[in-house]
Structure 1
Protein backbone atom coordinates (compact mmCIF):
# COMPACT_ATOMS: atom_id res chain seq x y z
CA UNK A 1 0.00 0.00 0.00
CA UNK A 2 1.43 3.38 -0.93
CA UNK A 3 1.23 6.44 1.28
CA UNK A 4 1.69 10.20 1.31
CA UNK A 5 4.50 11.87 3.27
CA UNK A 6 3.02 13.75 6.24
CA UNK A 7 5.87 16.26 6.11
CA UNK A 8 6.16 17.38 2.48
CA UNK A 9 3.01 15.69 1.04
CA UNK A 10 4.93 13.73 -1.64
CA UNK A 11 2.58 11.02 -2.93
CA UNK A 12 2.86 7.38 -3.92
CA UNK A 13 5.60 6.37 -1.51
CA UNK A 14 6.02 2.61 -1.19
CA UNK A 15 6.87 1.10 2.20
CA UNK A 16 10.57 0.57 2.91
CA UNK A 17 9.69 -2.30 5.28
CA UNK A 18 6.54 -4.27 6.12
CA UNK A 19 5.95 -6.55 9.07
CA UNK A 20 2.92 -8.52 10.05
CA UNK A 21 1.89 -8.75 13.70
CA UNK A 22 -1.15 -10.94 14.15
CA UNK A 23 -4.11 -9.23 12.47
CA UNK A 24 -2.09 -6.06 11.81
CA UNK A 25 0.57 -4.90 9.39
CA UNK A 26 3.18 -2.32 10.26
CA UNK A 27 4.59 -0.42 7.29
CA UNK A 28 7.69 1.73 7.67
CA UNK A 29 8.20 4.56 5.17
CA UNK A 30 11.00 6.94 4.24
CA UNK A 31 10.26 9.85 1.96
CA UNK A 32 12.76 10.03 -0.92
CA UNK A 33 12.06 13.73 -1.30
CA UNK A 34 12.58 15.09 2.25
CA UNK A 35 13.90 12.07 4.19
CA UNK A 36 11.06 12.05 6.74
CA UNK A 37 10.35 8.61 8.27
CA UNK A 38 7.06 7.34 9.66
CA UNK A 39 5.12 4.15 10.25
CA UNK A 40 1.52 3.11 9.81
CA UNK A 41 -0.34 0.28 11.51
CA UNK A 42 -3.29 -1.20 9.67
CA UNK A 43 -5.79 -3.61 11.19
CA UNK A 44 -6.36 -6.25 8.51
CA UNK A 45 -9.76 -7.21 9.89
CA UNK A 46 -10.99 -3.72 8.96
CA UNK A 47 -10.10 -4.43 5.34
CA UNK A 48 -11.47 -7.99 5.16
CA UNK A 49 -14.90 -6.96 3.81
CA UNK A 50 -13.31 -4.69 1.20
CA UNK A 51 -10.99 -7.46 -0.02
CA UNK A 52 -13.83 -9.98 -0.09
CA UNK A 53 -15.89 -7.64 -2.30
CA UNK A 54 -12.98 -7.08 -4.70
CA UNK A 55 -12.33 -10.83 -4.98
CA UNK A 56 -16.02 -11.43 -5.65
CA UNK A 57 -16.07 -8.77 -8.38
CA UNK A 58 -12.95 -10.27 -10.03
CA UNK A 59 -14.57 -13.72 -10.03
CA UNK A 60 -17.74 -12.32 -11.61
CA UNK A 61 -15.74 -10.59 -14.37
CA UNK A 62 -13.70 -13.74 -15.04
CA UNK A 63 -16.89 -15.82 -15.36
CA UNK A 64 -18.46 -13.37 -17.79
Structure 2
Protein backbone atom coordinates (compact mmCIF):
# COMPACT_ATOMS: atom_id res chain seq x y z
CA UNK A 1 0.00 0.00 0.00
CA UNK A 2 1.24 3.46 -0.88
CA UNK A 3 0.97 6.43 1.48
CA UNK A 4 0.80 10.02 0.31
CA UNK A 5 1.08 12.67 3.03
CA UNK A 6 0.64 16.38 2.34
CA UNK A 7 0.78 18.77 5.30
CA UNK A 8 -1.00 22.03 6.09
CA UNK A 9 -3.96 21.78 3.74
CA UNK A 10 -6.67 24.45 4.13
CA UNK A 11 -9.62 23.23 6.22
CA UNK A 12 -12.13 23.79 3.40
CA UNK A 13 -9.97 21.65 1.14
CA UNK A 14 -9.81 18.77 3.61
CA UNK A 15 -13.49 18.89 4.56
CA UNK A 16 -14.67 19.14 0.95
CA UNK A 17 -12.59 16.80 -1.21
CA UNK A 18 -14.96 17.47 -4.12
CA UNK A 19 -12.37 20.00 -5.30
CA UNK A 20 -10.15 17.05 -6.15
CA UNK A 21 -12.88 14.73 -7.42
CA UNK A 22 -13.98 17.45 -9.86
CA UNK A 23 -10.75 16.92 -11.79
CA UNK A 24 -11.81 13.34 -12.56
CA UNK A 25 -8.26 12.22 -11.87
CA UNK A 26 -8.67 10.67 -8.43
CA UNK A 27 -11.03 10.31 -5.49
CA UNK A 28 -10.06 11.02 -1.89
CA UNK A 29 -11.96 11.07 1.37
CA UNK A 30 -11.55 13.23 4.47
CA UNK A 31 -10.03 11.64 7.57
CA UNK A 32 -8.23 12.52 10.78
CA UNK A 33 -4.72 11.19 11.26
CA UNK A 34 -3.22 11.52 14.72
CA UNK A 35 -5.60 14.38 15.45
CA UNK A 36 -4.84 16.24 12.20
CA UNK A 37 -7.48 16.63 9.46
CA UNK A 38 -6.21 15.01 6.27
CA UNK A 39 -7.19 13.48 2.95
CA UNK A 40 -7.04 9.76 2.34
CA UNK A 41 -6.39 8.06 -0.96
CA UNK A 42 -6.18 4.27 -0.68
CA UNK A 43 -3.79 2.41 -2.96
CA UNK A 44 -4.08 -1.28 -2.32
CA UNK A 45 -3.82 -2.77 -5.79
CA UNK A 46 -0.58 -4.62 -6.43
CA UNK A 47 -0.33 -2.84 -9.80
CA UNK A 48 -0.14 0.62 -8.20
CA UNK A 49 3.08 2.34 -9.23
CA UNK A 50 5.01 5.43 -8.23
CA UNK A 51 3.55 7.08 -11.34
CA UNK A 52 0.04 6.53 -9.92
CA UNK A 53 1.03 8.23 -6.68
CA UNK A 54 2.50 11.09 -8.70
CA UNK A 55 -0.82 11.49 -10.56
CA UNK A 56 -2.74 11.68 -7.29
CA UNK A 57 -0.28 14.22 -5.90
CA UNK A 58 -0.59 16.29 -9.08
CA UNK A 59 -4.39 16.22 -8.88
CA UNK A 60 -4.35 17.33 -5.24
CA UNK A 61 -1.89 20.15 -5.81
CA UNK A 62 -3.73 21.34 -8.96
CA UNK A 63 -7.01 21.47 -7.04
CA UNK A 64 -5.26 23.32 -4.21
CA UNK A 65 -3.79 25.83 -6.67
CA UNK A 66 -7.27 26.39 -8.14
CA UNK A 67 -8.46 27.61 -4.73
CA UNK A 68 -6.09 30.59 -4.86
Same-fold call, TM cutoff 0.5: no
Q: Name the TM-score, length of structure 2 as normaliser.
A: 0.29
More strand by share: 1
Which one has the largest radius of gyration? 1
Bigger RCO (CA 8 Å, 6+ sep):
2
More helix by share: 2
Q: Name the TM-score, length of structure 1 as normaliser.
A: 0.31
